[in-house]
Amino acid sequence: MSVYLDHAATTPMFDVAIDAMNASLRKLGNPSSLHTEGRSTRKDVEDAREKIAQAIDCLSSEVIFTGSGTEADNAAIKGLFWHTDKKVIIVSSIEHHAVLDPAHWLVEHEGAELIEIPVNSSGTIDLDFLKKVLAERRSEIALISVMHSNNETGVIQPIAEVVQIAGDIPVHCDAVQSFTKVPLSFKELGLFAMTISGHKVGGPLGIGALILRRAVEIPALLHGGGQERDIRSGTLNAPSIVAFAAAVEAHLYDAKKVAALRDLFESGVVAARPDAVINGKGAQRLPGISNITFPGTQSDSLLLLMDSQKVSCSTGAACTAGVHRPSHVLMAMGLSDVLSQSSLRFSFGTTNTEADVAYALSVLPDVIERGLAANAVGRK
């Protein structure tokens, strides 16, 4: 038996998306060409744009296709910064590196100043801190970026309140994890920009979108043919766009089922290991993400041990050049360096079953014991 519990990293493509992609792959025509084939492909792209716009509650002209969520985040952070002469960028301390890294790049190369909003022990941002910063420095702030939900813990952030506090300051939101899993309206939130991605929602890898207010124009990262409002030049990836929209339109994600599986799993973990800590449990969370600390273990060892038992999960922390690093998200929530490296992320999707949960729980106790023993030997 093999159990996949890493849906937050990427989720299986829906059959309807695969079928849509295959059909598009067989069509000839660059969507920027004016001949019959080109116009036919362009119609497919624009139909897909409309479907995604309806799902996210925005205008179709506000959907800008990109090669990934990371590219959309970069375009938003850099573009909104370059759109003004103000120098202060505000982000939450738990952002994905697709937001944190371009922000740090702007500090190093463009003279930006970065302010990070702290979070409480449940992983929710400190709105009072944000209010204080804005009261003192509002006229200096170029943009604010706060994710809709955290990719490691699943904790949902108070984006509507952030936008209200921000007023006329542009707010960007990385909604990659939230899209199609919880109610999400670009229009109602009042955002300037939002990021979504195909492979988190049953679509293909390598396609994302930046949702950008129609009245907002930002400098381009990619220059060329002027596609996508002259913000993202390049031949449109019609097959992936069509498949992305097909997955969104199908909306096969069953939030109640996924939440029930997560809760069943967490109950089983705590019963088996009373010392285990579910990170972010006190906050509102996405249905499918469970981040659990197992004191006395090393998460990279646990991941490999789980993998040896044919259960796929994640450490939720960055690994660079083979060196395991503590999760900046968990450390921002107050966990120590050691505990931040003793946690695993299990993320559930619609394709998971109660049998998957039962199997994962059946192998977990032995994995934890072996992980504790290995860590004890390593400390000697």
Same domain (yes/no): 160, 27: yes
Is the CB of residue 287 less than 8 Å from the CB of residue 263? no
Domain boundary (232, 250, 268) is at 250
Same domain (yes/no): 245, 269: no
- The string of pLDDT tens digits covering residues 38-51 is 999 999 999 999 99
- The string of pLDDT tens digits covering residues 300-344 is 999 999 999 999 999 975 554 455 689 999 999 999 999 999 999
Residue 7 belongs to a domain? no
Its sign, for the CA torsion 303, 181, 195, 100, is negative
Say which DSSP state 361 is in: H
% pLDDT > 70, the chain: 97
Confidence at residue 203, expressed as pLDDT on a 0 to 100 scale = 98
What is the CATH number for 347? 3.90.1150.10
Query: At a CB cut-off of 8 Å and minimum separation 6, what does 324 contact?
Result: 298, 299, 300, 315, 317, 341
Same domain (yes/no): 47, 196: yes
Residue whose pair of structure tokens reads 């370059």 in the numeric block: 82
pLDDT at 256 over 70: yes
Domain boundary (250, 280, 304) is at 250
Confidence at residue 362, expressed as pLDDT on a 0 to 100 scale = 98
Residue 258 belongs to a domain? yes
Mean pLDDT for 61-79 is 98
Is 319 annotated as catalytic?
yes
What is the CATH number for 20? 3.40.640.10
Same domain (yes/no): 235, 259: no
Domain count, the chain: 2
Confidence at residue 380, expressed as pLDDT on a 0 to 100 scale = 55
**Active site residue: 58, 173, 313, 319, which one?**
319
- What is the residue-averaged pLDDT of the chain? 95
Confidence at residue 321, expressed as pLDDT on a 0 to 100 scale = 41
Same domain (yes/no): 305, 236: no
- The string of pLDDT tens digits covering residues 350-371 is 999 999 999 999 999 999 999 9
pLDDT at 379 over 70: no
Same domain (yes/no): 223, 263: no
Domain residues for the domain of 166 are: 15-250
Residue 34 belongs to a domain? yes
Query: At a CB cut-off of 8 Å and minimum separation 6, what does 93 contact?
Result: 116, 117, 118, 119, 328, 332
Q: Is 271 exposed, middle or buried (0-12, 13-18, 19+ CB in 10 A)?
A: exposed
pLDDT at 155 over 90: yes
Query: At a CB cut-off of 8 Å and minimum separation 6, what does 321 contact?
Result: none
Say which DSSP state 26 is in: T
Is the CB of residue 217 less than 8 Å from the CB of residue 229? yes
Same domain (yes/no): 107, 223: yes
Predicted model pTM: 0.95
What is the DSSP code string of 49-89? Answer: HHHHHHHHTS-GGGEEEES-HHHHHHHHHHHHHHTSS--EE
